[in-house]
A and B are shown apart, each in its own frame.
Chain A
Amino acid sequence: DSGVTQTPKHLITATGQRVTLRCSPRSGDLSVYWYQQSLDQGLQFLIQYYNGEERAKGNILERFSAQQFPDLHSELNLSSLELGDSALYFCASSVDSRRDTEAFFGQGTRLTVV
């Protein structure tokens, strides 16, 4: 168990809908990363937050947004969902945002858009 908690584990929703994925980082970790994993794209970085502030953006669609709350948990919001958004979404956390800091992943949320 990495200590990173993601909910829900599975989510099935229809096209056009909006969903929220939740992540609780390891105790003491200030940095949260979101990744998308699909069969043809591998692990793609979406966005990073550090202590409530956005630090870096990757290939995140405009339909997607995220935030990190004062208690350090993070939420990833996906809207106007399309079939191609079906994927595993992982959250990872690390103590800080230095480039040589270990990151630990949660178990992921499997999103299926039908």
Chain B
Amino acid sequence: GENVEQHPSTLSVQEGDSAVIKCTYSDSASNYFPWYKQELGKGPQLIIDIRSNVGEKKDQRIAVTLNKTAKHFSLHITETQPEDSAVYFCAASPTGNQFYFGTGTSLTVIP
């Protein structure tokens, strides 16, 4: 089955700086890569996603890049704010029957 690895597990940045989270996947059949943000006590919230026919996607301060050849994708958050502090999960979907999640990155934005 698919194996998704995520790094780093924890990340601290100063407010206003950028944050980058990286994921790799193993199954070349995966063609959909969502990112979720999970705040304490809440469910994962879909924040951005990318499909394999696209190399980059932006939504305001958030961007995701995908390199299908290397089987890796990354989340970029610019101009970080304290409310960006949360756990972020990447995921890959090879079949549509389930999502394979990374182990999460705990992001702390220091005011």
Chain B residues bordering chain A, tally (CB within 8 A): 26
A45 touches B98 (CB 8 A): yes
Given contacts A2-B43, A43-B89, A99-B93, contact A105 B98 (CB under 8 A): no
Q: Is the CB of B46 within 8 A of A99?
A: no
Question: What is the interface of chain B, defined by CB distance below 8 A to chain A?
Answer: 29-32, 34, 36, 42-46, 49, 51, 89, 93-104
Q: A90 and B44: CB pair below 8 A?
A: yes
Return chain A residues, CB-CB under 8 Å to B103: 42
**How many residues on A have C-beta within 8 angstroms of the other chain's C-beta atoms?**
26
Secondary structure type dominating chain B contacts: loop
Min CB distance, B45 to chain A, in Å?
Answer: 7
Residues of A within 8 A of B (CB): 2, 4, 6, 33, 42-43, 45, 48, 55-56, 58, 90, 92, 96-108
Interface centre among A42, A43, A56 (most CB of B within 10 A): A43
Q: Which of A6, A90, A96, A100 contacts B32 (CB 8 A)?
A: A100
- 18 example contacts (A-B, Cβ-Cβ < 8 A) are as follows A42-B101, A42-B103, A42-B104, A43-B44, A43-B101, A45-B98, A45-B100, A48-B97, A90-B44, A100-B31, A100-B32, A100-B96, A101-B32, A101-B96, A102-B46, A103-B34, A103-B99, A105-B44
